[in-house]
Amino acid sequence: MTKRRVVITGVGAVSPLGNDIETTWAGIKEGRSGIGPMTRVNPDDFPAKVAAEVKDFDIETYIERKEARKMDRFTHFALAASIMAMKDANLELSPELGLRTGVWIGSGIGGMETYEAQFRTFLDRGYRRVSPFFVPMMIPDMAAGQVSIHFGAKAMNSCTVTACASGTNSIGDAFKVIQRGEADVMISGGAEAPITNMSVAGFCSNTALTLNQDPKTASRPFDANRDGFVIGEGSGIVILEEYEHAVARGAKIYAEIIGYGSTGDAHHITAPAPEGEGAARAMQQALNDAGISPSDVDYINAHGTSTPYNDQFETMAVKSVFGEHAYKLAISSTKSMTGHLLGAAGGIEAVFTALAIHESILPPTMNLENPDPICDLDYVANGSRQKEIGYAMSNSLGFGGHNASLLFKKI
């Protein structure tokens, strides 16, 4: 059976760099940091002091207050980014097209803010005072559910929960839905709002967060002085569309998705497999799915969390898959500017990868001042570069041993 082609025709983002895609992408190209002092929780309660927070965001720009109150913050982000992406794609759903349009939006944690607030209400005032919207607000699939309701998208409606790989897995799974012919359009990506007391406490307890108190230099992927990730929040959404459908309506096309790989480490609940073995298999799967050679790839948007093991093992994985070509590749971690958006990371990084191809620009890895000798590839250190990009890859790796890779092509 001939695989149908899938292209990206719209992008949207709510991020620590800005509440729209224009501001966010401009920040990435300029190497600007969206990281600041932690304000959504009391930093005096935790050893971690910085976070990548979304600032001055108002969901009532997009929907009425009455509806917004029935949603958690992560769903607000997903809905806003989806509205932006649909507008960018110049796509309105008729009843007929709604039957051929689906939604696949992942979240690693879901409505933690709602869970904590409602649990406090339960402890203080009993079950009768817990909101009847508690469960629908909390569950991770509700971002996809609310986006589907908002647009009338009635094809496949799903949510992938694979920790920090959720956004990438969601886009990869949505890509396959269109490729198989089960939909013509998919609204896909990730959303997360994890800067809550229990989330920060948990990540501090397992020593995953950086203790660097300088917001501008706290996220430093591939640097020898990296010591943990910066927790972030937001959403990245792409509109995926069957190629002929997009061409027929004269759509703008950012890039084509041509490959998807997804593997499991079967190793440890938080630590990556030695030498990035699982990540390497995901990258190889994506290459095989696309039918291209490693030497064809020009750029990788790395998972690059700024944690000691991740950056080392991801570098080793790239070397094992790409061989000598690894040293000719451009690699960057945009988390150096956005922090780590957990389940939303793959969504927003897919947006960045598509825009990098579309505008022929390599996003930088900021704060790479003291390179780790083990991490000896070209990480586009400290400033973006102009470069024609024919093929690009985006990687996401999550707790539980989830590895996902997407391959993009210039069109």
Q: Which structure tokens are listed for 378?
A: 């070209």
Nearest to residue 238, comparing CAs of 388, 346, 359, 334? 346
Catalytic residues: 164
Contact between 311 and 279 (Cβ < 8 Å)? no
Residue 49 CA, chain-centre distance (Å), reads 23
DSSP notation for 21-53: HHHHHHHHHHT----EE--SS-GGGSS--EEB-
DSSP notation for 178-241: HHHTS-SEEEEEEEE---SHHHHHHHHHTT-B-----GGGS--TTBTT---BPBB-EEEEEEEE
- Across-strand partners of 12? 237
**Residues 217, 215: Cα–Cα separation, whole Å:** 6
Q: Looking up tokens 């690693």, which residue turns up? A: 108
**Residues 361, 154: Cα–Cα separation, whole Å:** 36
Buried b / exposed e along 296-318 (16+ C-beta atoms within 10 A):
ebbbbbbbbbbbeebbbbbbbbb
Walk across the sheet containing 234-242 and list its strands: 157-158, 101-106, 185-192, 234-242, 6-14, 255-264, 402-409, 391-398, 299-301, 330-332
Q: Looking up tokens 């190629």, which residue turns up? A: 243
Q: Looking up tokens 């920040």, which residue turns up? A: 27
Can you list the alpha helix ranges (DSSP code H) found in 291-333? Answer: 308-322
Q: Which amino acid is at 270?
A: T
Contact between 52 and 231 (Cβ < 8 Å)? yes
